[in-house]
Structure 1
Amino acid sequence: MTESSTPAIRLTGLRKSFGHVDAVAGVDLEIADGEFFSMLGPSGSGKTTVLRMIAGFELPTAGTVELGGKDVTRLAPFERDVNTVFQDYALFPHLTVRENVEYGLKVRKVGRKERRERAEQALSSVRLESFGDRKPAAMSGGQRQRVALARALVNRPKVLLLDEPLGALDLKLREQMQVELKAIQREVGITFVFVTHDQDEALTMSDRVAVFEAGRIVQVGTPEDVYEKPASPFVAGFVGTSNVFAGETARTLFGRAGTFSVRPEKINLRKAQETNGVVAEVIYAGPVTRYVVDLDAGARVVVVEQNRRTGTAALSELRGQRVRLDWLDEHVIEIPQLKENAHAE
């Protein structure tokens, strides 16, 4: 991420209403120049609407959008120094890969020689320099995704907006493209704003993450901060799996009132003379096993352990057995009350 006193994007009091429904209910956010920033949230949380307002495809009901310090709130999409990559890629099937990448430059009446040079450079940046003469139909989903990325990069925008571009890919390819996208972003140094509902995707790729709920940002921070220090029960439950304790259960386990969270991988499960729960279910998931444990204190807890030595038969024998769960005090997260809105500084 490059250092700059002027953010690449500044959103102030941003709102968008559709009839009586507030899709975006007041967002304040700054995204630094050269940052890989993700907007994470469930369907209907407002993240895609915010992206569309940055792109100019939606006009805000209230608030402002600034790009590089310039107010672009009322400018058309083609008047903004941004490009968008969509989930369906929107490639022209009758054009070659090279012609697809050149298309935006041709519309801008860039000369043929410069178009070809910049298209080749863009294809090289996504490692498709030998695919220029192919048609999109002859390429894999991951390759078409990279063509769409090259078509956006060739215009040399200050900001690249990505609207769930990996959503249509299978798991293996999606994981591969996560690594490739982050590497490309580092190489080109452009600000990437990535919209996703996939928590692992956001944590893997981002410098910072904004978590959306009901049209608002409820937390902004590094992936580590969002995962290890969730600002609300919603964040704790949505970003990864978390065991949340409140009410009398919290009083019994922690000796005081409040809402607390312990991540499944932080909990130790063992057989001991003093037990505090019963294993209700054992779920083998390849590299890990998930245990569902009913605590005597009244909570149902998920525990995750790596499968280093134990076979599946031995694991299944734990079902119905009494066990002891414990954890370190440093791994207990006290979740604060939800604030009205979270702001990025």
Structure 2
Amino acid sequence: MTSSATTAAPAPTAQATPAISLQGLGKSFGQVHAVHELDLDIRQGEFFSLLGPSGSGKTTVLRLIAGFELPTSGAILLGGKDVTRSAPFERNVNTVFQDYALFPHLTVAKNVEYGLKLHGVPAAKRKARVAAALEMIRLPHVADRLPSQLSGGQRQRVALARALVLRPEVLLLDEPLGALDKQLREQMQIELKQIQREVGITFVFVTHDQEEALTLSDRVAVFNEGKIQQVGSPEDLYQRPATEFVAGFLGSTNLIDGALAAALTGTEQLVSLRPERVRVGAPAEGEAGIAGVVAESVFTGPGRRLLVTPDGFPEHSLLAEVPHGAPGSSAARGERLELAWPREAAYAVPRD
């Protein structure tokens, strides 16, 4: 990739005018409230993900930003300009869909060039911008191929180039990696983040995949039932969940309350304890712990997942992720052992 084809992304700042500002945004379909009057600012130049289960409202929010749906209430500002009632073509945004929506009868170069022709860009400039876009996605050698002659990952990158060649202020991505297999999806996550940094524009990414959101994003908004549960950096959301839903939705966790929580933490308040913070062994200074019996032992490749029934609490279980080679990494069902974890790893969360 040549350095002349891209520019470095500016560091997102809270002081700049937000790339997107949603103010009291709501959307209803008849009696169904898909989005409940949410407020959200997305910063210039950041990779921002809308994360949540199916039906949580995240895709509706993306469609509202794009102009494919009109809100029932509230306002949408792009770069400080109110576009709430503007048509999609009047908004300087572009969208990449899961199915890529490439024209099957046009070559890769013609697909990428299509939007430039609609915008009246002269032929010489079109050619240069298409070449730069294909160089950016590292596919200049497929310019004359048809989409049917490309792999799924290549088609995804071509769809990305077609959107970016128009130089939008914001790029909206509606689960664009959902159709790829796991290995290719993980590869494309890295490439997508690199491209976003190079072009320096705001990406808004919709996904239901927690690992994908944590891997790609500068910040994430977690949705549930049309409302935002929490907005923050991936680390904040994972280590310091604001709600019971966020704690349970982002990765695996032990949600403990009542008598077991009192025995382990000294309070019956609900706590979240991530299984990778739990180790096999006697508690050291600054740690809490409990003994129990292994109810299930599953080999995962990098290690072993242990489900342990703690002594005195036969109706409960604790999940521990034990790395390969660590104590307990060969534990079998029925084996007695001790579990320990740093006291601060049991993070209190409010009930939903």
Q: TM-score range, shorter-chain basis?
A: over 0.9
C-alpha distance in structure 2 between counterparts of 1:216 and 1:174, whole Å: 28
Picking from 23, 37, 56, the partner of 1:12 is: 23
C-alpha distance in structure 2 between counterparts of 1:102 and 1:6, whole Å: 31
- Alignment partner of 1:334 is 2:348: yes
Picking from 187, 202, 209, the partner of 1:176 is: 187
Cα drift, residue 120 of structure 1:
0.9
C-alpha distance in structure 1 between counterparts of 2:290 and 2:254, whole Å: 19
The superposition leaves residues 57-95 of structure 1 with CA deviations (integer Å, 9 ceiling, x where unpaired) of: 011110111000001010010000000000000000100
Where do residues 152-231 of structure 1 align in structure 2 (5 Å cutoff)? 152-231=163-242
Where do residues 101-112 of structure 1 align in structure 2 (5 Å cutoff)? 101-112=112-123
Question: Any unmatched runs of 5+ in structure 1?
Answer: 339-345
Letter in 2 for 1:289: R
C-alpha distance in structure 2 between counterparts of 1:256 and 1:309, whole Å: 30
TM-score, with structure 1 as normaliser: 0.93
Where do residues 60-71 of structure 1 align in structure 2 (5 Å cutoff)? 60-71=71-82
The residue matched to 1:148 in structure 2 has which SS?
helix
Where do residues 114-125 of structure 1 align in structure 2 (5 Å cutoff)? 114-125=125-136
Cα drift, residue 118 of structure 1:
0.9
8 A contact 1:259–1:336 mirrored in 2: yes
8 A contact 2:281–2:327 mirrored in 1: no
Letter in 2 for 1:77: P
Structure 1 runs (4+) greater than 2 angstroms displaced: 1-4, 296-299, 308-311
The superposition leaves residues 86-111 of structure 1 with CA deviations (integer Å, 9 ceiling, x where unpaired) of: 00000001000000000011111211
The residue matched to 2:142 in structure 1 has which SS?
coil
Where do residues 291-302 of structure 1 align in structure 2 (5 Å cutoff)? 291-296=306-311, 297=313, 298-302=315-319
C-alpha distance in structure 1 between counterparts of 2:39 and 2:351, whole Å: 20
The residue matched to 1:290 in structure 2 has which SS?
strand
8 A contact 2:282–2:338 mirrored in 1: yes
Q: 1:127 to 1:14 in 2, by over 3 A?
A: same
Cα drift, residue 257 of structure 1:
2.6
C-alpha distance in structure 2 between counterparts of 1:21 and 1:323, whole Å: 50
The superposition leaves residues 140-178 of structure 1 with CA deviations (integer Å, 9 ceiling, x where unpaired) of: 000000000000000000000000000000111000000
Q: 1:285 to 1:5 in 2, by over 3 A?
A: same
Letter in 1 for 2:341: W
The residue matched to 1:130 in structure 2 has which SS?
helix
Cα drift, residue 270 of structure 1:
3.3
What percentage of residue pairs aligned between the two structures are identical? 60
- Alignment partner of 1:284 is 2:299: yes
C-alpha distance in structure 2 between counterparts of 1:189 and 1:75, whole Å: 25
8 A contact 2:290–2:340 mirrored in 1: no
Q: 1:310 to 1:275 in 2, by over 3 A?
A: closer
Cα drift, residue 275 of structure 1:
5.9
Cα drift, residue 29 of structure 1:
0.4
8 A contact 2:27–2:36 mirrored in 1: yes
RMSD across aligned C-alpha pairs, in angstroms? Answer: 1.7
Q: 1:326 to 1:155 in 2, by over 3 A?
A: same
Question: Any unmatched runs of 5+ in structure 2?
Answer: 1-10, 284-288
Provide the residue aligned with 2:250 in structure 1.
239
Picking from 22, 37, 47, the partner of 2:33 is: 22
Q: Which moved more, 1:3-12 or 1:67-76?
A: 3-12
Where do residues 74-113 of structure 1 align in structure 2 (5 Å cutoff)? 74-113=85-124
C-alpha distance in structure 2 between counterparts of 1:228 and 1:183, whole Å: 25
Letter in 1 for 2:324: N
Give the length in aligned residue pairs: 334
8 A contact 1:14–1:63 mirrored in 2: yes
The residue matched to 1:192 in structure 2 has which SS?
strand
- Alignment partner of 1:251 is 2:262: yes
Cα drift, residue 309 of structure 1:
6.7
Where do residues 41-52 of structure 1 align in structure 2 (5 Å cutoff)? 41-52=52-63
